[in-house]
Structure 1
Amino acid sequence: MADSEPASFIPCPPSHVLRGIADRMNDGMLMFNERGEVSMANRVVRELFGVADGDATELGRRVEELLPASALSQAAESGCWSGSLPLDERVVIVQIYHHGEGDEQAWLALFRHIEGREDYEQELQRRHVELRQAYQRLNGAQEKLLQSEKMASIGQLAAGVAHEINNPIGYVHSNLGSLQEYLRSLFTVIEAYERALRAPDPKAMIAEIDDVRDRLDIDFISRDLPQLMAESREGIERVTRIVRDLKDFSYSGREESWKLANPHAGLDSTINIIWNELKYKVTLERRYGELPMIECLPSELNQVYMNMLLNAGHAIAERGSIIVSTGVEGEDVWIEFRDNGSGISPELRQRIFDPFFTTKPVGSGTGLGLSISYGIVNKHHGRIELESTVGEGSCFRIVLPVRQPR
């Protein structure tokens, strides 16, 4: 049996057939390479640019003059580019597609002529709707990513937070046991006084009352009881503060509005949340300056503070220090996190803010902490500055405007 081609194979038509089909299109089609050499231009393109059939050089020059300088490079990077061109008091919608194979680069440009102003406005409206929908999807994905990273971070810290809550709850529980014994002793003394008041000769009961007081050590109870109550109140307040800080920190921020807040309050609450993660190997020093209230999204900045502190802690292998400093510089405030850990090499500094990039072992980090922090600071019209020396440590400085630009 003679070999035959598969039924699904369709031979490529000759070039003159392709040109014939292209000339029947209502849209302009132009194909050219990186040297500006035109390999195909249909009838609509030639009419749009007023170029005679066969004058490929002039056509390439006209197209190169009208296209934005970045159009071809953007198409090469992302695969396509779209925009509009003013052409002889008309508007032409352009879409450019790129294909590269080895050293050969090729672009295919499609031109759609919009006849009147009404058609142009409809096209702009359609593109505006598409851009708005894309922006809403992107914004929603960013919020979900931020909240997901925030909750993942809280999940990693949950054991430490539970330990921080368990300690004060433990001694409050112990103090309540002591308080129960103290109350029993006090009620015993009160009963002795009541019997003495009912006795025919109350003075005769004084010795019994003194004996009860000595046996139950009422003098010690009277001294210890205020201290015991103060410790218990302090423990409950500590738990309340941790829960409040955790609630503020985990707030999604979806409906949070820009407000005036004290950066020091956010720093302190974040330190309270993550302290159990740091306290066994880190000496923390706070060098706070006088800061004004700044316009910000507080819970999002708390996320940045946490990422900076945890990264500084992870950079310290066994024992080290973290210095948190703040200050004012003109119309900006700055918050600085300095550690004496392992430092960051120059080649890694270019990538640390990339999404999903991490130097931690697999399963130990999402690689989103610094990327999200960069996005939050950029959203606040601020910047992150980095200084680092391998073996000596790193310093991240966050610079934020006191008031957001209108």
Structure 2
Amino acid sequence: MPHRNREGLMPSPAILDRLGDSLHEGVMLFSASGVLVYANPAATSLCQGCSQDPDSGLALEALLPRDAMPQARADGRWSGHLSFGKDSILLVHVYFCPDEDGWFLVLLQDLREVRAYEQDLLRRHAELNVRLTAAQAKLLQAEKLASIGQLAAGVAHEINNPIGYVHSNLGSLQEYLHSLFALIDAYERALRSPDPRAMLAEIDQTRSRLDIDFIARDLPQLMTESREGIERVTRIVKDLKDFSRSERDESWKLVDLHAGLESTLNIIWNELKYHATLEKDYGELPPVECLPSELNQVFMNMLINAGQAIGERGTIRLSTGHAGDEVWVEIADSGPGIPLDVVQRIFDPFFTTKPVGKGTGLGLSISYGIVAKHHGRIDVDSQPGRGAKFRIVLPVRQPRAA
């Protein structure tokens, strides 16, 4: 029999009937001898295809396989499947309660409904995954743009500096062209003059007055500087374009990580050069399968953090290496280091020790997610007073699904 509650009272049969009527699962109660005592409407509906009518006294032995009742008595429960007709398959759970004479509680579920529910769960899970992926992509893109926004002044300076001397060189080039055209005019007059010796003397005076010898020496250097300046601007703009690219526009490819590091340094160099000495120790790296712009985001976050940790003046050491099926990129700074209680939280979203306006608290969290997406890891080694070292370890090739 069902247990009584603390007050010694039991729900009335009417309440039990209403509860049973509201259930989608079939509920049946049998006596110890296997005689049906109670069946809710769902059980009656589910058992319509069996050989006996539940309302006319269905026996448990006729409903279950031969070994079901002995196993339920011995173990307290039995689970299995029943098939009625061509399409009706029921999931059955039998529970034995050895109270007084004993009772069998039978729960029935239509497997079609169970499978439909599972399919609905899978569909919802897939929808949530799509939404989560889209949200992660938007968050990554927002962090990229935020990083560029924080570096905007430095990037503008890096662009304005070469543009400034290219503009100055163009002014000098214009003056040089006037001088060269004047010299050409003098030669043309000499060719038409009846007194070539007098005109040759005038040409020499013109060459001296316009300082043509200096122009001849300075002009190639001026053009070289101007070309380098334009190439510098072109590289920065290209690196910015590659860096800000959305992951939807990018596919997995084999790339040179050193090229990615140099591209990232090209963008953020103005942020580092006034207070950090950069030391490079690049090893031999094979092409690595990755999403280049996402890894560049990681490199940028790590390098900017290292620069901000240094303070007024210090050193950033950038090194790379290759061991077995993995490559690593290590960024170490000579800053004050990270306290032990902070190290445990640095990858938490929105956690930051920087002043307001200096960071979003998402840089390391996003970096951790990107590296994990590449089936890699980030190792941290830091002690207070001895700087911090971040090692990004990545597989050379991404693992393939079986």
TM-score normalised to structure 1 length: 0.76
The alignment status of 1:291 with 2:300, answered yes or no, reads no
Residue 368 of structure 2: aligned partner? 374
The alignment status of 1:114 with 2:106, answered yes or no, reads no
| Whole-angstrom CA distance in 2 between matches of 1:376 and 1:334 | 15
| Whole-angstrom CA distance in 1 between matches of 2:108 and 2:259 | 59
- Determine which of 338, 346, 354 is the counterpart of 1:352: 346
CA distances 1:32-62 after superposition (whole Å, capped 9, x unpaired): xxxxxxxxxxx98xx9xx9xxxxxxxxxxx9
Residue 31 of structure 1: aligned partner? none
| Whole-angstrom CA distance in 2 between matches of 1:297 and 1:267 | 14
Measured after TM superposition, the shift of residue 255 of structure 1 is 2.6
CA distances 1:347-402 after superposition (whole Å, capped 9, x unpaired): 11111101111111233211000000000000000000000011110000000000
Residue 25 of structure 1: aligned partner? 22
| Whole-angstrom CA distance in 2 between matches of 1:377 and 1:23 | 53
Does the C-alpha gap of structure 1 residues 288 and 122 become closer, same or farther in structure 2, counting only changes over 3 Å? same
Residue 109 of structure 1: aligned partner? none
Query: Match of 2:345, SS?
Result: coil
Measured after TM superposition, the shift of residue 15 of structure 1 is 8.3
Residue 392 of structure 2: aligned partner? 398
The alignment status of 1:205 with 2:202, answered yes or no, reads no
- Determine which of 324, 330, 334 is the counterpart of 2:328: 334
Does the C-alpha gap of structure 1 residues 113 and 401 become closer, same or farther in structure 2, counting only changes over 3 Å? farther
Amino acid at match of 1:141: A
The alignment status of 1:161 with 2:155, answered yes or no, reads yes
Alpha carbons 2:380, 2:390 under 8 Å: kept: yes
Which protein has the larger Cα radius of gyration, Structure 1 or Structure 2?
2
| Whole-angstrom CA distance in 2 between matches of 1:368 and 1:340 | 23
Does the C-alpha gap of structure 1 residues 337 and 91 become closer, same or farther in structure 2, counting only changes over 3 Å? farther
CA distances 1:40-96 after superposition (whole Å, capped 9, x unpaired): xxx98xx9xx9xxxxxxxxxxx9xx99xxxxxxxxxxxxxxxxxxx94235589xxx
Does the C-alpha gap of structure 1 residues 87 and 157 become closer, same or farther in structure 2, counting only changes over 3 Å? farther
- 1:214-233 correspondence to structure 2 within 5 Å: 214-233=208-227
Runs of 4+ in 1 over 4 A off after TM superposition: 90-93
Amino acid at match of 1:292: P
Residue 117 of structure 2: aligned partner? 123
Query: Match of 2:312, SS?
Result: coil
Residue 75 of structure 1: aligned partner? none
Does the C-alpha gap of structure 1 residues 207 and 27 become closer, same or farther in structure 2, counting only changes over 3 Å? same
Alpha carbons 1:335, 1:398 under 8 Å: kept: yes
| Whole-angstrom CA distance in 1 between matches of 2:231 and 2:281 | 25
Alpha carbons 2:244, 2:293 under 8 Å: kept: yes
CA distances 1:182-230 after superposition (whole Å, capped 9, x unpaired): 0100101100011111111222211111001001110111011001100
Residue 180 of structure 1: aligned partner? 174
| Whole-angstrom CA distance in 1 between matches of 2:182 and 2:399 | 70
Alpha carbons 1:303, 1:373 under 8 Å: kept: yes
Query: Match of 1:283, SS?
Result: strand
Structure 1, unaligned runs of 5 or more: 1-13, 29-42, 51-61, 67-85, 94-111
CA distances 1:296-335 after superposition (whole Å, capped 9, x unpaired): 0000000000000011111112100000100001100000
Structure 2, unaligned runs of 5 or more: 1-8, 26-38, 44-59, 61-71, 82-89, 94-106
Alpha carbons 1:323, 1:339 under 8 Å: kept: yes
TM-score normalised to structure 2 length: 0.76
Residue 317 of structure 1: aligned partner? 311
Amino acid at match of 2:277: T
The alignment status of 1:190 with 2:184, answered yes or no, reads yes
